[in-house]
Amino acid sequence: MPDLGPLKILELFSGIGGMHTALRISEVPGEVCAAIDINSVANEVYSHNYPNIKVLRKNIQKISPNMINKMGVNTILMSPPCQPFTRVGNKKDLDDKRCVPLAHILSILKELVHLRYVLVENVTGFETSEAGESLRVAVAAAGFDFREIMISPLQLGIPNSRERYYMIAVKKPLQFSLDIPARDELDGETVRSLLTAVSERKTPRCISDILHLSDDSSDYDQFLVPDDVLRKRAWILDIATKTSTKTCCYTKSYTHYIEGTGSVYCPFDQQFIQNAYETAKTMEQDSPEYLSCLQTLRLRFFTPTEVQRTLCFPDSFTYPPEITRKQKYRLLGNSINVEVVSRLIRIMTNSVET
């Protein structure tokens, strides 16, 4: 890598500081000049963990090129709102007002005189959106070489299915030192090889590696799946055990809604689970016996700490005492897998001049 000095980073849509945490994990020299997010609760958590960083609650579309240039920013890390590209958000794409801040940043890229690196994260579907095309056009017009990659933590052996879109971009004459094929030519094994080539960090491999609450803990019952959910929704739960190597993607609605928001934990093995469900099938759903049978599984939600570990945040990442459990779930559901991003930062900055 050429001697370009440490990264001077502007972290946009910064949330609780996932990109900053990824930077720390990557061990790439750099500093966050400013972090910007409109969510005041997320900003509290960010400042709690990184008290020396300027965290701004500011509309991103009001940021001027002059402000960014004055800070000497040479790197932008950002995870724009994903709702415009999801079914829940009605896939309004550029017509969604939550796309306005991203559109503003893209409109000023050419004016950022020190900028040499850009990393973007978003949900799957972004790559085929109008906003995704606007991103590609803008970075190319600003003189960047870029690569787009779809990555799930499962490809690193991390037990969480959370596929996301990533773009890494370097300002010419910089170019990537690793041979990264075009997105359409990247298969899962090639992605895994790219990510493992830049780091051999130990990561969680199965659920036992992320457990924080022991099966005999006095707090266990606080996280039990409610009886009404067991009675009505037991058949759609995704259940993980200690030996499971996969969980569903956790969303900000985890514990509040059931379907598609994340997995639940069972302290028993798959055979025990299968037997309980087969027995429950023989019973009337509104009978006391049906509920009692499912209760024997002791199904519980994963704790915020366990979700955080699944996203590869270190245990040193903590929360102000006033942040509620519900708020933690919401914040984590909007965050990133920091291990994946840390490796992309290493790939992006390990570039060479042509």
**Catalytic positions:** 82
- CA atoms of 46 and 252, how far apart (whole Å): 17
- CA atoms of 257 and 250, how far apart (whole Å): 11
7 neighbors 28 (Cβ within 8 angstroms): yes
| Cβ within 8 Å of residue 235, ≥6 positions away | none
Quickly list DSSP for 107-140: HHGGG-TT--EEEEEEETTGGGSHHHHHHHHHHH
Q: Residue for token digits 């993980």?
A: 240
Helix (H, G, I), strand (E, B) or coil at 47: helix
| Cβ within 8 Å of residue 31, ≥6 positions away | 6, 7, 8, 9
230 neighbors 299 (Cβ within 8 angstroms): yes
DSSP state of 8: E
Q: How far apart are the first and last CA of the chain?
A: 11
| Cβ within 8 Å of residue 169, ≥6 positions away | 117, 118, 119, 120, 139, 144, 145, 146, 147, 348
> Which phi-psi region, left, alpha or beta, contains residue 22 (left: φ > 0; alpha: ψ -120 to 50)?
alpha
Q: Where are the beta strands (DSSP E) in the chain?
A: 7-12, 30-36, 55-56, 75-78, 117-123, 144-151, 164-171, 174-176, 239-240, 264-265, 300-301, 351-353
CA atoms within 13 A on the CB side of 286: 0
Residue 214 burial (C-beta neighbours within 10 Å; 0-12, 13-18, 19+): exposed
> In which element (H, E) is residue 338 found?
helix 338-349
